[in-house]
Amino acid sequence: MERPDLPLPQLHAFVVLAEELHFGHAAARLGIAQPPLSQQIRRLEDRVGHPLFRRAPGRVTLTPAGQALLPAARQALAGLADGLAAARAVGGGRAGRLRIGFAASLALTVLPGLLRDFRRRFPDVHLDIAEMTTAPQLGALRERTIDIGLLREPPSEDPELAFRTLLNEPFVAVLPSAHPLAAQRTVRPDQLAGEPFVLLPRAVGPQLYDRIIGLCEAAGHTPHIAQHAVEWQTVCALVEAGLGVSVAPASIRRIRLKGVAFRRIGPGTSRTRVAVAWRRDDDNPLVDRLLATVGQAS
């Protein structure tokens, strides 16, 4: 069945006249002359096929057809008003949906404060949060399944994506608490030579993986990778189990395991870069709102 076009200006005139029950008062409220108001009501009655008002000298009342139309007309106008308000809120970056990917270790550092500040400023925005490592985040950004990435060691250049550094974080040695090096306050990278390592697979974060390997190679040894684990929580658990040692971002110290010791690596070692990433051509105003929140927090 074909649905007729909804005559919203005529419905507006109808509702105002139904509330005023006086053509002069209704016309004044609408800001138009009385003849155009009468014409709009006539057009709506022609569309309905029945009179909507009884007209008598000094008296206007709704017909049964008018009484039946009034609730639906009010609902249509309210729906339009709500839709316009929603469109303005989304277009103005005050509402809508923002999809964010984040590296698990950032839940221990920048993520909670950033989300708290953003929610305080934009409470009507729905946030979809997905935990994923760096390489999947970059792919999800390019495939437009997330809008923002919070990741480690982004590529130096990318034609599609832009990056902004949030912090540069030092590395720590992750050791079983009974390991002899755990008695030291600081561990040199060369002291880890010959130790079995537990690390994230290179595929999930190539730049971070290469930076850790490079840190060891600069100290004169290439780590022997005894075990891979996708999440730092698992890396720490495997270290606690005695499967090896690791080198990790300093924020990993917030993972509390009784059998694991975290020791600063020094002196003057490299750091891991934490960044926010987004598509260069993204026109979602919420992306700009989140980037502004990052700027205020940094």
Q: Looking at residue 83, what is its pLDDT?
A: 67
Tokens of 52: 């909507």
Cα angle at 194 between 188 and 200, to 5 degrees? 80
Q: Looking at residue 254, what is its pLDDT?
A: 87
pLDDT of 1 over the 50 cut? no
Q: Looking at residue 189, what is its pLDDT?
A: 94
| pLDDT tens digits along 33-50 | 989 888 999 999 898 888
Half-sphere exposure of 112 (CA within 13 A, CB side): 4
Q: Looking at residue 295, what is its pLDDT?
A: 65
Mean pLDDT of 209-235: 93
The closest alpha carbon to 91, from 276, 281, 289, belongs to: 289
Confidence of residue 3 (pLDDT cuts 50, 70, 90): very low
Q: Is residue 96 left, alpha or beta, with left meaning phi > 0 and alpha meaning psi from -120 to 50?
A: left
pLDDT of 86 over the 70 cut? no
According to CATH, the topology of domain 8-91 is Arc Repressor Mutant, subunit A (1.10.10)
Superfamily of domain 96-165+274-297: Periplasmic binding protein-like II (3.40.190.10)
Q: Looking at residue 141, what is its pLDDT?
A: 96
Question: What backbone phi and psi angles, to 5 degrees, belong to 227?
Answer: -155, 140
- Decide if 206 contacts 135 (C-beta within 8 A): yes
Mean pLDDT of 141-168: 92
- Decide if 176 contacts 259 (C-beta within 8 A): yes
Q: Looking at residue 107, what is its pLDDT?
A: 85
The closest alpha carbon to 213, from 228, 224, 226, belongs to: 224
State the DSSP string of 250-295.
GGGGGS--TTEEEEEE-SS--EEEEEEEEETT---HHHHHHHHHHH
pLDDT of 94 over the 80 cut? no
The closest alpha carbon to 256, from 274, 236, 275, belongs to: 236
Among 106-120, 173-187, 277-291, top mean pLDDT goes to 173-187
Q: Looking at residue 90, what is its pLDDT?
A: 64
- Decide if 275 contacts 109 (C-beta within 8 A): no
Domain assignments of the chain as residue spans, ordered by start? 8-91, 96-165+274-297, 170-271
Question: What backbone phi and psi angles, to 5 degrees, belong to 176?
Answer: -60, 140
Equal fold, 8-91 vs 170-271: no
| pLDDT tens digits along 195-205 | 999 999 998 88
pLDDT of 52 over the 60 cut? yes
| pLDDT tens digits along 259-279 | 999 999 987 677 889 999 999
Among 76-85, 172-181, 283-292, top mean pLDDT goes to 172-181
Mean pLDDT of 167-177: 93
Using CA of residue 143, residue 147, residue 152, residue 158, what is the dihedral sign?
positive
pLDDT of 2 over the 50 cut? no
User: Which of the two residues, 63 and 156, has the higher pLDDT score?
Assistant: 63
Alpha helices in 31-63 (DSSP H): 34-48
Q: What is the spatial distance between Cα 100 and Cα 130, in angstroms, rounded to a whole number?
A: 6
User: Which of the two residues, 93 and 132, has the higher pLDDT score?
Assistant: 132
252 contacts: CB under 8 Å, gap ≥ 6: 105, 108, 172, 174, 232, 235, 236, 262
Per CATH, the number for 170-271 is: 3.40.190.10
49 burial (CB, 10 Å; 0-12 / 13-18 / 19+) is exposed
pLDDT of 4 over the 60 cut? no
pLDDT of 84 over the 80 cut? no
Q: Looking at residue 133, what is its pLDDT?
A: 87
- Decide if 245 contacts 192 (C-beta within 8 A): yes
Q: Looking at residue 78, what is its pLDDT?
A: 84
Mean of per-residue pLDDT scores for the chain: 88
